[in-house]
Amino acid sequence: MHAPLTSAILAVLVSAALALNQPPAPAGRPYTEVHEIPAGGTIVHVGRDIHLLAANGTILHVSVNVKLATTPATPPEHTGWITYANWLNTSPSPISVFNTSWTVPAAPSNYDGQTIFLFNAIEPGAGDAIIQPVLQYGPSAAGGDAYWAVATWYLYGPDVFHTPLLPVDVGQTLRGMISLLGQSGGTYDYNSQFTNIEGTSLSVTGAEQMAWATVTLEAYEITSSSDYPPGASSFYEISFAFSGLAPQVHWEVVNDEDDGLSTVVNSDGSLFGVVTLTY
Ligand SMILES: *[C@@H]1O[C@H](CO)[C@@H](O)[C@H](O)[C@H]1NC(C)=O
Ligand SMILES: *[C@@H]1O[C@H](CO)[C@@H](O)[C@H](O)[C@H]1NC(C)=O
């Protein structure tokens, strides 16, 4: 049996992880374990633990479910989230679908090992978990180098789960979807995937409700503006569905004014929203 990690042990693990200079995972937090999800595999919260199951139901890995309640999520400004739009659903109707499309940008003109993540995501209001279909350039905990690639991620406390990293082409359209598959007894089952890319589907059972929606540019090891792609990226066809009466959706933005990166809401609301991030 695994013993629950105390916050003291966790602090040691987290500082050990930071000292190792880990490749980033797209949630701006240190992690202790990275698990690639095999085809058809799934993630299940079971009591205190998180099980990674093979397609045939065999348990491949058990992680101790360390909720980082004693270590609040670092504010996004300090985590590598550069500029983003966000909306917190405080209504009684859980988000049941959060879709958006975007296009794989041109490669940055300079590559010196920087990492760029572009994604839509939802998190619990407390920010201690995240589910997200992610476009990346450069290295991450899933692999990668000087090319664009996609994977779907679920992060919970110090655990990182991701689908295999798949290269994509400049100009390719990405359709990221996060959907609620079901809910019971205060727990929620989610799926996330690129609906137009095979092998990116990730399901998690027994999770917390995810209420904070974002479209985000996250980056690490940026040394000059040419480490970013040229121009701007738009997330378009941003659409929500709800389990219950639909609330009003209103996007707020956070910019990195010092570095001239900004997010603009071109079209607000719950259907066919458009948000543009300028590098
Ligand atoms: C189930 O899948 C795992 C991982 O692919 C494999 O190692 C195991 O042999 C399979 N078990 C059965 C009973 O098919
Ligand atoms: C989300 O995308 C899926 C797959 O393309 C589609 O079937 C569904 O209708 C979309 N839902 C919303 C609310 O946009």
**pLDDT, tens digit, 9 for 90 and up, residues 92-131:** 999 999 999 999 999 999 999 999 999 999 999 888 899 9
Q: Is 177 in the pocket of ligand 2 (CB under 6 A)?
A: yes
Please state whether beta strands 115-123 and 212-220 pair in parallel, antiparallel, or not at all (unpaired): antiparallel
56 lines ligand 1 (CB under 6 A): yes
- Whose Cα sits closest to atom 1 in ligand 2? 99
Predicted local distance difference test score (pLDDT) of residue 67? 58
DSSP state of 32: S
Alpha-carbon span 229 to 173, nearest angstrom: 16
Dump pLDDT digits (tens) for 167-200. 999 999 999 999 999 999 999 999 999 999 999 9
pLDDT in tens, 237-251: 999 999 999 999 999
Closest Cα to residue 76, out of 135, 28, 9?
Answer: 28
Record the pTM.
0.88
Q: What is the mean pLDDT of the chain?
A: 87
| Interstrand relation of 129-137 and 95-103 (parallel, antiparallel or unpaired) | unpaired
Residue 248 beta carbon below 6 angstroms from any ligand 1 atom? no
pLDDT class of 20 with cuts at 50, 70, 90: low
* Length of the chain (residues): 279
Please choose, from the candidates 24, 53, 48, 26, the residue with its C-alpha nearest in 3D space to the C-alpha of residue 37. Answer: 53
User: Distance from the CA of 62 to the center of ligand 2, in angstroms?
Assistant: 33
